[in-house]
Amino acid sequence: MANDKNLKNKIKKLLFTYFVLLLFLNKTNVFCKDVSEKEKNISLSKSIDQKLENIEVNKKKILVLYCSTGGGHKTCALAIKEYYEKKHKEITVEMVDVLENYSSEKNEKIIKLYNRFVNDFQNLYGFVYSIGNSYFPSLIVKKVERIMCGSIYNLINDSKPDSIVITHPFIAEALGNLKYEKKLKTPVICCTTDYNIHRVWVNKNIDIYITACFEAQQDVSKFGFNENKIFSLGIPVKQSFLEDANKKDLKAKFNLDQKKPVVFLMSGMNGCGNVEEIFKELLDFGENIQIIAICGTNDDLRFKLEKIKENSKKDFKIIIVGLTDKVSDYINASDVSVIKAGGMSITETLACNTPIAVFFALPGQEKKNSEFVVKNNLGIKLNQKNKGKQILSLLHDKEKINLIKTNQKKFFNKNVLKDLDDVIQKTLHSN
């Protein structure tokens, strides 16, 4: 009996040990399974990260090049960059001022020299423009091009873009020469920024030209460029100018009287044109109007306008501002836009469907821009004397205002950025 009892105890212990061992092995397998799953997850995570890194490395890249001699070139470049940052985050955009990249000190000197030349020697500027357009690009352009060429070449090699977009004629000449010398294979798209094209814009080795209008397209073709590679899309402007605007809401936003017309007055970045005289005339002769004056970085002009406003007996609603990012809102709140004949200023006003009154045009490209505006009934050019009275006359000529607004709607391409994107996308995927 004792032996049977001992045997039963041994069997019980054996079974107990068996179950404990079984349980241990089961737990161990679960643990091993957990480790295996974790390893799989870690491996998968690494794989995803690696793929994302590869995607990041392989992202398409656009290099946008401009010069700051004239505000429109930079503004056009900014509009392109802004569009891609909002609409195509899968594409990297790098924007570079080529003169600044070459030398900050020399860039500052060149801009000062350019501004002085434009302001103080306007007839000479017009003569140089005319001579350069009749023959080969001037020696000045050639000199600047030679200065920039090596710097631009190094910049492109460092950036390694899939497509290059340029908004300045000097850069077109430099990149065209690099292509001629077989040093550059990347597609180059040149966005012109005026309603007529000077010869210095055109280099046969550039891949594609974008122009503001059909007449400008003909100019590029006239200088020997393949017309099949020219697209008349318009001048790119920031998205804020392309969005639908409610004038009533904007007038309320700026505390403007809904029943009184608004004159928008903007000086050029170089301070050309007697803006204070126009401002004073509007105050002296205007009745029941409102004025929005944009002075940009011209603090001296802003001070003068504030003084004129203080000394006036009129109780007009007058807004005087310096540098602002609300230009589109101010134009959309207005009934007439009084501007200098820069290509970008004209385009921004057209985008807002506001009648144009050109108060000043530099000899050369701006004079041509002004002629284009008048020829196509997109606005008027003010005569030398009594500019304020001419603005007031347009403001109250409802038939003329309606005709201009209708022509502007027909002319301006609201899809300019989307159309430009279609062209750029083809170059991005052609490599």
Per-residue pLDDT of the chain (431 residues; tens, 9 = 90+): 555 555 555 555 544 544 444 444 344 443 333 434 444 444 544 554 554 444 445 689 999 999 887 789 999 999 999 999 999 989 999 999 988 877 666 666 766 777 666 666 667 767 777 766 665 445 556 666 666 778 899 999 999 999 999 999 889 988 998 999 999 999 999 999 999 998 889 999 999 999 999 999 999 999 999 999 999 999 999 999 999 999 999 999 999 999 999 999 998 655 566 899 999 999 999 888 999 999 988 889 999 999 999 988 888 899 999 989 999 999 999 999 999 999 999 999 999 999 999 999 988 889 999 999 999 999 999 998 899 999 999 999 999 999 999 999 999 999 999 999 999 999 987 76
- Intervals of CATH 3.40.50.2000 along the chain: 60-234+415-428, 246-411
Say which CATH superfamily domain 246-411 falls into.
Answer: Glycogen Phosphorylase B; (3.40.50.2000)
**Predicted local distance difference test score (pLDDT) of residue 269:** 59
**pLDDT at 327 (0 to 100):** 96
Maximum CA pair distance of the chain?
A: 136
Closest listed residue to residue 72, CA positions, set 339, 283, 300: 339
Q: Write the Ramachandran bin of 63: left for phi over 0, alpha for psi from -120 to 50, otherwise beta.
A: beta
Q: How far apart are CA 294 and CA 330, in angstroms?
A: 9
Helix (H) or strand (E) holding 338: strand 336-340
Q: State CA 248 to chain mean position distance.
A: 27
Mark out the alpha helices in 286-397 (DSSP H runs).
Answer: 299-311, 327-332, 343-351, 365-375, 387-395
* Prediction pTM value: 0.82
CA distances from 217 to 17, 106, 230 (A): 93, 33, 6
Helix (H) or strand (E) holding 401: helix 398-411
**What pLDDT is stored for residue 39 in this prediction?**
47
User: For residue 326, which phi and psi values (nearest 5 degrees)?
Assistant: -110, 25
- What pLDDT is stored for residue 364 in this prediction? 86
Q: How far is 35 from 301, CA to CA, in rounded Å?
A: 73
Match domain 60-234+415-428 to its CATH number in 3.40.50.11890, 3.40.50.2000, 3.30.460.80, 2.40.110.10: 3.40.50.2000
pLDDT value of residue 6: 57
Stretch (H or E) spanning 357: strand 356-360
How many Cα atoms within 13 Å fall on the side-chain side of residue 88? 19
3-state secondary structure of 168: coil
Output the pLDDT for position 22.
45
CB atoms within 10 A of CB 155: 18
* Integer Cα distance of 294 and 279 in angstroms: 11
CB of 195 within 8 A of CB of 215? yes
The residue behind tokens 């040093």 is 183
Cβ atoms within 10 A of the Cβ of 138, count? Answer: 16
Tokens 């201009």 belong to: 404
Gap between the Cα atoms of 273 and 268, Å rounded? 8
Q: What per-residue confidence (pLDDT) applies to 38? A: 45
Contact 208, 189 (CB under 8 A): yes
Q: Within 10 Å of residue 303's Cβ, how many Cβ atoms?
A: 11
Q: Which two tokens stand for residue 160?
A: 């390694």
Position 41 scores a pLDDT of: 47
Alpha-carbon gap, residue 346 to 337, rounded angstroms: 9
- 3-state class of 215 per DSSP? helix
